[in-house]
Amino acid sequence: QIEIRVEEDWDIARYSLLSQYLKREGLPFACYTEDKGLVTPEGADVEGILIVDPVDGSRPHLAGIPVACVSVAVVRPVGEPTFADIAEGCVLKIAGDEVYWARRGEGALAVQGEERIDLISSEVDDISKMACVFEIAGRPMPLVATAIAPLVDASSLSGGAFALAARAASSC
């Protein structure tokens, strides 16, 4: 049994469980987390890199806002991976039983319990009509505001600009 000091240890404790599982099962994956950075198993030729946020949205979850989720992406093992190297991803909402999964070139799937959820692609191709969701978890705030201002200004009247605490859950 693991005792977890909520804000500080949630991600670290869950990463530890993931790391133990990968090792026990002999799965050749490196892991990247915001707390640990890139960790590669000793002496293993990795098949991929797991980008993991074990509790994406822990702060709002603690405040009673049910947007926390487990976020995992699988990246091909290349020198300096980019978004283009993501092969597949999965998001599991912690408060509920929704799972969202996508594989490059094969589309996306969503399920709630045993039921499939129909996903609808957006036809929006104009940034002023786009609804965008972003997270503000970093500082200094003046730099964050400067970076997102053009997007918010362009989309907030005809589309929408929404600040949520868990990026992955907000995209579901």
Strand order across the 48-56 sheet: 37-39, 29-33, 48-56, 69-75, 86-93, 98-103, 107-112, 115-117
pLDDT tens per residue, range 115-143: 999 888 888 888 888 888 777 766 788 88
* The pLDDT value given to residue 42: 79
pLDDT tens per residue, range 42-71: 777 888 999 988 777 777 777 777 777 889
Residue 3: per-residue pLDDT: 40
DSSP line for 145-167: HHHHHHHHHHHTTTTEEEE-S-H
Alpha-carbon gap, residue 106 to 111, rounded angstroms: 16
Distance, in Å, from the CA atom of 58 to the CA atom of 42, rounded to the nearest integer, reads: 30
